[in-house]
């Protein structure tokens, strides 16, 4: 047989991008994430400048996490039984409203004759509204992703979706820090509002996504069905738990304003670079993963990636050089991106269409809010232990979590991507 006959077709790295709805989904998610990440870095630095308190930074995460976790399961239930495009429009308008209010508040704060004690509580409340929106946003977008491309393209789509998110996470914080540093918070919020409008416009380009789940039982039975599915899948529950605890203890991002302002002394411009460099490491790694998939031995590679994440956090806490700190933030983002791709692909492959919203809601409770809960933990630990000690402690605890997970999931380590799709391979023991 000829050499041509024996050759295998090369994998199409752009396969998912050939679907129009998937491209619209990526654009919508990119602009929403850009504005959201830009707002996060601006608000973090602004509140720290007002309060000079690491604990106040932790409260920012807590204000968003409480509603995001508290009504996450209800958000998943609504996403399963609702039309997704209309749902996303409502969510985006709520976030847009919160940004308008924060824009007005920060603009009014420029008046030297006004008392500024009311500023932080109002901003906290707007962040709380963002948390409410997030409880519905995650399940809705998770379902749209699954219906926008064929199932066999989920690994490729996960790479592009995660890369889009990470690119926005690079540009958003960098733009936020630089615009805030050079032009002030009013101009920065004006840019956020324009970008959110672009996201809302792109939602209109999505087709209608009718529900695939019509509930025949009460809401509590429906919610229990989603929870039972996750807790009966050994791979899903351990993947979610691994991310929850590693980010909870290893979430040094919330303390970056302290490092930028007090330890490395690089100001808001340096903070924007620090926030962006982690995402730069992530997106470069993800682009490489589009060609060289980490899904050959997904569980083994997941444990290796989280180990690298924890080591990077420890090294960052020990560094006193701005440029060396950037190196460790870069590797932290690179390792985290590998785990994001693996977890995202596993969850999409194992979740039935009729319960994607509810499973995504459980994932949001474990993972989506782990950054905010981790931010609160980091702020509290920094207050009790000191900023540097708390970061090193967090990285060490991440390594401990990986060790525990390794011994609890040894049977999953040799499984290939095809094997994890078999229910008996990933069922709870």
| CA–CA gap between residue 214 and residue 145 (Å, rounded) | 20
How high is the pLDDT of residue 420?
Answer: 62
Phi, psi of 409, rounded to the nearest 5 degrees: -130, 30
Residue 168 inside a domain? The answer is: yes
Look at residues 357, 4, 427, 373 and name the one whose alpha carbon lies nearest to residue 146. Answer: 357
Per the CB < 8 A criterion, the answer to whether 62 and 53 are in contact is no
Verdict on whether the full-model pTM lies above 0.75: no
| CA–CA gap between residue 176 and residue 37 (Å, rounded) | 8
Per the CB < 8 A criterion, the answer to whether 361 and 226 are in contact is yes
CB atoms within 10 A of CB 327: 16
Residue 4 inside a domain? The answer is: no
CA-based end-to-end distance of the chain: 47
Q: How open is the CA angle 189-190-194, to the nearest 5 degrees?
A: 115
| CA 265 to each of CA 44, 295, 386: distance values in angstroms, whole numbers, following the listed order | 16, 41, 17
Residue 1 inside a domain? The answer is: no
In this predicted model, what pLDDT tens digit does every residue of 128-180 receive, in sequence order? 998 888 888 888 887 788 778 887 787 778 778 877 877 787 778 778 878 88
Per the CB < 8 A criterion, the answer to whether 405 and 241 are in contact is yes
Q: Environment class of residue 223 by beta-carbon count within 10 Å: exposed (0-12), middle (13-18) or buried (19+)?
A: middle
The domain total for the chain is 1
DSSP annotation of 65 reads H
Per-residue pLDDT of the chain (429 residues; tens, 9 = 90+): 444 444 444 556 778 888 888 888 888 889 998 998 888 888 888 888 777 777 777 778 778 878 877 777 787 778 777 788 888 889 889 999 999 998 888 877 666 555 566 788 888 899 899 888 888 888 888 778 877 888 778 777 877 887 787 778 777 877 887 888 788 888 888 999 999 999 999 888 888 877 766 666 666 777 777 777 777 777 777 887 787 777 777 666 667 878 887 888 887 778 878 877 887 888 788 778 767 777 778 888 889 998 999 899 899 888 888 899 899 999 988 888 888 788 877 777 777 777 777 777 777 666 655 565 666 666 777 777 777 888 888 888 889 988 998 888 888 887 766 666 544 444 444
Per the CB < 8 A criterion, the answer to whether 54 and 383 are in contact is yes
Residue 3 inside a domain? The answer is: no
Residue 332 inside a domain? The answer is: yes
Residue showing tokens 């009718």:
210
Residue 6 inside a domain? The answer is: no
- Which CATH number belongs to the domain containing residue 57 in this structure? 1.20.1250.20
Per the CB < 8 A criterion, the answer to whether 11 and 155 are in contact is no
- DSSP string covering 199-252: HHHHHHHSPP---S----S-HHHHHHHHHHHHHTBHHHHHHHHHHHHHHHHH--
Domain that holds residue 68: 14-426
Look at residues 264, 190, 251 and name the one whose alpha carbon lies nearest to residue 42. Answer: 190
How high is the pLDDT of residue 97?
Answer: 93
Per the CB < 8 A criterion, the answer to whether 103 and 34 are in contact is no
Residue 102 inside a domain? The answer is: yes
């Amino acid at each position: 047989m000829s050499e041509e006959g024996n050759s295998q077709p090369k994998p199409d790295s752009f396969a998912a991008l050939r679907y129009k709805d998937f491209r619209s989904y990526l654009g919508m998610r990119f602009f929403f994430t850009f504005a959201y990440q830009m707002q996060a870095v601006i608000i973090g630095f602004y509140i720290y400048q007002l309060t000079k308190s690491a604990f106040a930074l932790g409260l920012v995460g807590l204000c968003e996490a409480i509603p995001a976790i508290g009504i996450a399961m209800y958000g998943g239930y609504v996403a399963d039984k609702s039309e997704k495009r209309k749902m996303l429009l409502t969510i985006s308008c709520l976030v847009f409203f919160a940004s308008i209010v924060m824009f007005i508040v920060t603009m009014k704060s420029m008046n030297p004759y006004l008392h500024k004690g009311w500023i932080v509580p109002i901003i906290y409340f707007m962040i709380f509204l963002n948390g409410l929106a997030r409880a519905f946003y995650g399940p809705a977008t998770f379902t749209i992703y699954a219906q926008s491309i064929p199932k066999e393209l989920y690994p490729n789509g996960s790479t592009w979706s995660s890369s889009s998110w990470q690119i926005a996470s690079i540009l958003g914080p960098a733009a936020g820090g630089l615009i805030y540093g050079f032009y002030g918070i009013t101009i920065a919020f004006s840019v956020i509002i324009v970008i959110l409008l672009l996201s809302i416009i792109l939602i209109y380009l999505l087709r209608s996504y009718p529900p695939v789940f019509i509930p025949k039982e009460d809401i509590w039975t429906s919610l229990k069905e989603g929870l039972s599915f996750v807790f009966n899948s050994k791979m899903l529950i351990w993947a979610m738990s691994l991310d929850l605890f590693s980010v909870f203890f290893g979430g040094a991002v919330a303390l970056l304003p302290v490092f930028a302002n007090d330890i490395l002394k690089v100001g808001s411009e340096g903070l924007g670079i620090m926030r962006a460099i982690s995402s730069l490491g992530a997106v470069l790694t993800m682009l490489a993963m589009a060609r060289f998939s980490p899904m050959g031995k997904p569980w083994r590679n997941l444990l290796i990636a989280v180990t690298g994440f924890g080591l990077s956090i420890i090294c960052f806490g020990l560094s006193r050089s701005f440029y060396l700190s950037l190196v460790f933030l870069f590797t932290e983002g690179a390792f985290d991106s590998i785990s994001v791709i693996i977890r995202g692909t596993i969850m999409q492959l194992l979740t039935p269409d009729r319960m994607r919203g509810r499973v995504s809601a459980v994932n949001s409770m474990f993972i989506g809010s782990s950054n905010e809960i981790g931010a609160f933990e980091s702020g509290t630990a920094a207050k009790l232990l000191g900023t540097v000690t708390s970061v090193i402690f967090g990285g060490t605890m991440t390594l401990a979590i990986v060790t525990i997970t390794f011994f609890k999931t040894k049977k999953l380590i040799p499984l290939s991507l095809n094997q994890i799709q078999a229910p008996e391979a990933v069922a709870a023991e």
